[in-house]
Amino acid sequence: MTIVGSAVSRVDGPAKVTGTAVYAADFALADLAHAALVQATVPRGRIHTIHTAEAEAAPGVRAVLTHENTRPLPWAPRDPRPGVDPKAGERLHVLQTDEVFYNGQPVALVVAETYEQACHGALALQFEIERDEGSAVDPEAVEPEAPDDQQSSMGDLDAAMRDAVHSVDVTYTTPGHSSAPMEPHASIADWDGDRLTLRGSYQMLKFNRNELADSLGIDPSNVRILSPYVGGGFGSKLGIAPEAVAAALAARQLGRPVSVAMSRPQVFETTMRRSETRQRVRLAAGGDGRLTGIGHEALVSSLPGEAFSEPVTQATPFMYRGDNRTTGLRIARVNRTCAGSVRAPGEAVGVTAFENAMDEMAEKAGLDPVAFRKINIPAEDPSQHIPFSSHKLAEALDEGARAFGWDKRRAEPRSVRDGEWLVGMGMASAFRVNMVVEAEARVRLNPDGTAEVETDMTDIGTGSYAVLSQIACEMLGLPADRVTTRLGDTELPPGSGSGGSFGASSSGTAVFLACEEIRGRIAEALGCAEGDLTLKDGVAVAGNRATPLAEVLGGRCLEAEGHVEPGETSSAVRQATYGAYFAEVAVNAVTGETRVRRMLGAFAAGRILNRKTARSQFLGGMTWGIGMALTEALLHDPRHGQIVNHDLAEYHVAVNADVPQIDVLLLDERDDWSNPMQTKGLGELGVCGAAAAVTNALYNATGVRVRDYPATLDKVLAGGL
């Protein structure tokens, strides 16, 4: 069978394009009530008075829930921090406290017969909050923490910088980002006695069940989450959000199912953001351009008490050679919406700034940017002195340059003009860590020769339904129409969830192992070794005999569960994925407007399971890169921390008019260290440095180096265009 590696259409595609796919807010339950969140308007403070009479009297309103009348949750003492409680893991403190920790924090819930009535009632709710004047909203205005586990040093970077023939010491800043998934967060909670069923839009169900149970103070066995379709996540749906806890509390209190669907501004204001960053990059090189020192230090922000911090330097330790190395991360504690994982946390912003600095160093050393990167590819992980499981950056650079026509680039900035447009080319390398996490899956081969795949793995638009079905088809020798995959239900075996680019490799390996066990049983029934068995088109071939699978099964059902978890391969070698971006931009010499004319990416991400969905993922990643480079920025009011561009009209992601023809090259790679299928993660690789290729091209076009993302036209003009 050759279904694995083919460009197979997504099996969930028809349901989505015809509108029959049921998303979180689409479930129609009997006696369903609707609710709207009410949010705080100060960055930190305490609620003194809530005036509920007008809201309670509004048409259709059935309840107004606040910390004063919501059933207390059975955990104590209450940790005043909004996130991490070291006694019991992560809990969301929804409707349980009079304290406010950030502007936009949910402080009340209005429940009504219809969504419109709930929103109307929410507007009528009035509350008085005493602002804590000691609140902090500006990361640059507070003394940051420097956790010991976030600092690393080898050799003597200061000496390397002092002795270098060529050196770069530059600071880049990136703004905060929002995941901005197409589907807003929504949850429908329904209790049956002590058992809760939540229909929600979530990425990591086996963890989400525990988080929700922990927040409600109940046993996880009493929680079922259903997420068969998720309309994008990009990190914002990795963990339980306030609407899920609020829906569960309201449904239990009212004794009827309750739906809480966030508005678009609420998604921006209450779910995780990517932290803004300030990154200092230092590079030291000899006369031949070989790096002798690397420094990468960053400032990020998060809420007080939160464990997560944007891992800006995650890829820096293994990207390039250099014996003298310093990396560090400082965390400013501010009263802004919780920072979390957003679209390739760490590398999306960290590799971007670093690749800009690499371009600056290439120019100082008088080397072509591609050649400079190639001579600095390390032979082993320079931070741990362990081998790479595989390493195809040089091939990605060469193949990408060839396909893009990099040899036609003019190195001198402002060398190419097309009317009033200045034209330039730029490139950047791509890096992303690779991992496998624990996952389980069940595969059932039915007597009629059909098969079923079951796991609570989710499909957030990445193609999980397709690739898991393909693996089962390939392993069991079945045509695509004879395999059904069921996902997104915590009653099924716990998969990896969708995040960190580990979903296909982790849950896919679990499916692979389950199928491998079934193959072994079939081989045993035919009296041959599993390696001598061929399954194709519903027929088992052993030796010179071909037997229909239905005959081999003899009315039996063969069922197996696969289970994978990380082993020594995760630490014995450095596993990563690599790529190279190339971009051509045109900058208007009068207005400073920048347009990307074409873009290409070449990627090595292990064995490709589905060429169509893989290409789509890389197209999406590079589209995010264009937005990051030119338009995308989360903006906070410096007076009170409110997100001022909290909708898709003012938060400017790249749209169709911004995106040119994008080409994707998928390099052939098999990595025996990654997993039995030799696959690697690829969903996030496409954005890890893509923005740098665009801004490096902008510099080549204009001679203006914008170090404060995004490179909007005012910054281009201010640079001396």
Which helix (H) or strand (E) segment holds residue 120: the answer is: helix 115-124
* CB neighbours of residue 485 within 10 Å: 25
Tokens of residue 291, six digits? 């790096």
Cα–Cα distance list, 475 to 445, 469, 671 (Å): 11, 10, 19
Decide the pairing of beta strands 576-588 and 594-604.
Answer: antiparallel
331 CB contacts (<8 Å, ≥6 apart)?
144, 145, 146, 147, 150, 299, 300, 301, 302, 309
Determine phi and psi for 635, rounding to 5 degrees.
Answer: -115, 130
Instruction: Report which DSSP code applies to 687.
Output: G
- In this structure, are residues 375 and 290 in contact, taking their beta carbons and an 8 Å threshold? yes
CA-to-CA distance for 401 and 662, rounded, in angstroms? 14
To the nearest 10°, the Cα dihedral for 594, 597, 603, 608? 120
Q: 3-class DSSP state for residue 691?
A: helix
718 CB contacts (<8 Å, ≥6 apart)?
none
368 forms beta bridges with none
Rg (CA), the chain: 27
269, 399, 474, 684: which is the annotated catalytic residue? 684
CA angle at residue 150 from 144 to 156, to 5 degrees? 105
Residue 286 exposed, middle or buried by CB count within 10 Å (0-12, 13-18, 19+) = middle
Residue 607 exposed, middle or buried by CB count within 10 Å (0-12, 13-18, 19+) = middle
- In this structure, are residues 99 and 39 in contact, taking their beta carbons and an 8 Å threshold? no
CA angle at residue 387 from 385 to 388, to 5 degrees? 125
Decide the pairing of beta strands 483-486 and 533-536.
Answer: unpaired
Cα–Cα distance list, 277 to 145, 205, 270, 348 (Å): 14, 30, 20, 11
For the question of residue 684 being annotated catalytic, the response is: yes
Residue 87 exposed, middle or buried by CB count within 10 Å (0-12, 13-18, 19+) = exposed
Q: Letter for the amino acid at 551?
A: E
SS in 3 state form for 193-236?
CCEEEEEECCCCHHHHHHHHHHHHCCCHHHEEEECCCCCCCCCC
Residue 151 exposed, middle or buried by CB count within 10 Å (0-12, 13-18, 19+) = middle
Cα 588 to its chain centre, rounded Å, is 33
Between helices 611-630 and 690-702, what is the axis angle to 10°?
50
Q: Letter for the amino acid at 515?
A: C
Q: 3-class DSSP state for residue 301?
A: strand
Q: Letter for the amino acid at 29?
A: L
Between helices 242-254 and 205-216, what is the axis angle to 10°?
50
Q: Which residues are annotated as catalytic?
A: 684
